[in-house]
Amino acid sequence: MDPVTLSDDRLILRPMRPSDAGHVLAGWQDETVRRWTEVPAEPTLRQARAFVEVVCAQGWQDATNLIFAAELKRTGEFVGSLGVFGLSWAGLSEQLAWVGYWTAAGQRGRGHTSAALRMMSAWAFGALGVDRLEAVVEVGNDASLACAERAGYVLEGTHRARTVQNGSRRDAWVAALLPQDLDRPSSVPYPCAAPGPPHPAGQWPARTGPAAGTVGDGRPATGAVRLPG
């Protein structure tokens, strides 16, 4: 698959390029990113270059993991990275994928990542024919969940042992976005689709964890993305 570039009045989402290696390394070294994201234990610029030039490029070539760099349209400043992961082309029933994202330290709390996530998700529904996107967020990472929710993702519940962090399995919140949530058709008819949230008022899945109740407090948004060691 050929890499693509997306844009709106605010942001440009483009394929990673060699000059992004320094930004990737800075992200891997950031304590908040490291807390919630699987990154190399002692990251080096060489690893970051390999990620940008090999891993990201291969993901586009194979059409399995499509990773973007996000930058501000007006200034060209690097905002962070996000992608659509786990794509399968086995058949229409397998058109499900998950998203990951992290935000550069100097760009947090400005809504850039949620805007980028919504733009990328809309593109995935149209260009890739995906029928469901999931944000899998380790329990306690309220900022990442809030970012997904601002992009339109709906929290569906907690999955046990859904993600791996620092060598151990962790419970995760799972939020999902469907084409219908963005007024788009699905590639396979979904007769259960209905307007409005899928949970009755006051019966949304409860959040648990050390930071429960602090959603939207401006802490950095990061997503659970496995990176090369």
Q: So what's the pLDDT on residue 161?
A: 97
Q: Is 224 part of a structural domain of the chain?
A: no
- Please, are residues 127 and 6 in contact by the beta-carbon 8 Å criterion? no
Q: Is 192 part of a structural domain of the chain?
A: no
Quote the domain boundaries for residue 26.
11-182
Length of the chain: 229
Q: Is 195 part of a structural domain of the chain?
A: no
Q: How many CB atoms lie within 10 A of CB 135?
A: 27
Q: Is 141 part of a structural domain of the chain?
A: yes
What's the N-to-C CA distance of the chain in angstroms? 26
Q: Is 76 part of a structural domain of the chain?
A: yes
For residue 94, how many C-alpha atoms fall within 13 Å in the half-sphere facing its CB?
8
Q: What pLDDT, in 10s, does the model give residues 95-124?
A: 899 999 999 999 999 999 999 999 999 999
Q: What pLDDT, in 10s, does the model give residues 76-94?
A: 999 999 999 999 766 655 6
Q: So what's the pLDDT on residue 191?
A: 85
Q: What CA–CA distance (Å, rounded) separates 147 from 220?
A: 9
Q: What pLDDT, in 10s, does the model give residues 155-194?
A: 999 999 999 988 899 999 999 999 999 999 988 888 886 6
Q: Is 219 part of a structural domain of the chain?
A: no
What predicted TM-score, i.e. pTM, was given to this entire model?
0.84
Q: Give the mean pLDDT of 50-66.
A: 97
Residue 220: φ, ψ to 5°:
-60, 140
Q: What CA–CA distance (Å, rounded) separates 38 from 24?
A: 13
Please state the domain count of the chain: 1
In terms of Cα–Cα distance, which of 64, 63, 42, 60 is closest to 52? Answer: 60
Q: Is 225 part of a structural domain of the chain?
A: no
Residue 113: CATH number of its domain: 3.40.630.30
Q: Is 4 part of a structural domain of the chain?
A: no
- Please, are residues 172 and 139 in contact by the beta-carbon 8 Å criterion? yes
Least confident of 8-17, 179-188, 203-212: 203-212
Torsion angle defined by CA atoms of residues 52, 54, 57 and 61, in that order, rounded to the nearest 10 degrees: -160
**DSSP characters over the chain:** -----EE-SSEEEEE--GGGHHHHHHHHH-HHHHHHS---SS--HHHHHHIIIIIHHHHHHHTS-EEEEEEETTT--EEEEEEEE----S-GGG-EEEEEEEE-GGGTTSSHHHHHHHHHHHHIIIII--SEEEEEEETT-HHHHHHHHHTT-EEEEEEEEEEEETTEEEEEEEEEE-GGGGT---SS--TT--SS-SS-TT-PPPP-STTTT-TTS-PPPB-------
